[in-house]
Structure 1
Amino acid sequence: MPHFVIDCSKNILTLQQPDTIMQEVHKAATDTGLFDETDIKVRLNPFKEYYLVGGKKGDFIHVFANIMEGRTTEQKAILSKQIVSQLKALFLTIPFIAINIRDFEKATYCNKDMI
């Protein structure tokens, strides 16, 4: 926990290596001090064919952050801004870079170590 899933147009991968993109998101999350670095998970999903941005094919990056409940709105806003800032610095020409954060409920979260 937390999980950061990066959806992007496949062309993004011609501008930066996938590992670089994932490392930047990981670093941004770590730098907030909200998470233990070893708990952060990052995945990347490039889209080649099936997507629209503003009704047409266009480059985009959208990060879906899933974190355990308990962080304040201010902490989540800092996390959002930190990640978007890191990605914006990597991709100066990409018009759409965004993130949204969703909270996991502690009562309903389960992983194999909890069983």
Structure 2
Amino acid sequence: MPHCIIEYSQNLEQEVPPLDWMEAVQQACLESGLFQPADIKLRAFACKHFITHGVQDAFVHVTVRMLGGRSAQQKSELSQSVLDALCRFAVKQVSLSVEIVEMENESYLRKVIPA
């Protein structure tokens, strides 16, 4: 855990490859000390149709979904770390945002089916 879901405007793909966004988010999660490398799951989705501030401005939004049990300070620091990682790219005219979402321990189920 966590599940890091990166949504970004398709017009950013020429400036920053999706894999670069993913690696930056992964590194921020690792540096938080809250997760082991094998536990971090990342997905990136380009949005073809979007409106930000009334126009088609570029954006990146990261949702970090994780099980409960972290303090408010830990979640705040993780959010800031991910945002800082996104800010390291030299992209102009972009809206960057991060959201931490707690998943309920009681309702989250997982099963890995081997090959």
How does the TM-score come out when normalised to structure 1? 0.92
Deviation at 1:92? 3.8
Contact 2:3–2:42, Cα closer than 8 Å, also in 1: yes
Two-structure CA RMSD over aligned residues (Å): 1.1
Residue 22 of structure 1 aligns with which residue? Answer: 22
**CA 1:91–1:68: 2 relative to 1, 3 Å:** farther
State the alpha-carbon separation in 2 of the partners of residues 12 and 70 from structure 1.
Answer: 35
State the alpha-carbon separation in 2 of the partners of residues 58 and 9 from structure 1.
Answer: 8
Residue 105 of structure 1 aligns with which residue? Answer: 104
Deviation at 1:91? 3.8
State the alpha-carbon separation in 1 of the partners of residues 77 and 47 from structure 2.
Answer: 28
Residue 50 of structure 2 aligns with which residue? Answer: 51
Aligned-partner residue type, residue 104 of structure 2: E
Deviation at 1:7? 0.6
**CA 1:43–1:91: 2 relative to 1, 3 Å:** farther
1:46-100 Cα distance to aligned partner (Å, 9 max, x none): 112x211011111000001101100001000100100110111114414310011
- What stretches of structure 2 of length at least 5 have no aligned partner? none
Aligned-partner residue type, residue 45 of structure 1: F
Contact 2:63–2:99, Cα closer than 8 Å, also in 1: yes
Contact 2:60–2:94, Cα closer than 8 Å, also in 1: no
- What stretches of structure 1 of length at least 5 have no aligned partner? none
Q: Which has the higher helix share?
A: 1
- Identity over aligned residues, as a percent? 29
Deviation beyond 3 Å, 4+ runs, structure 1: none
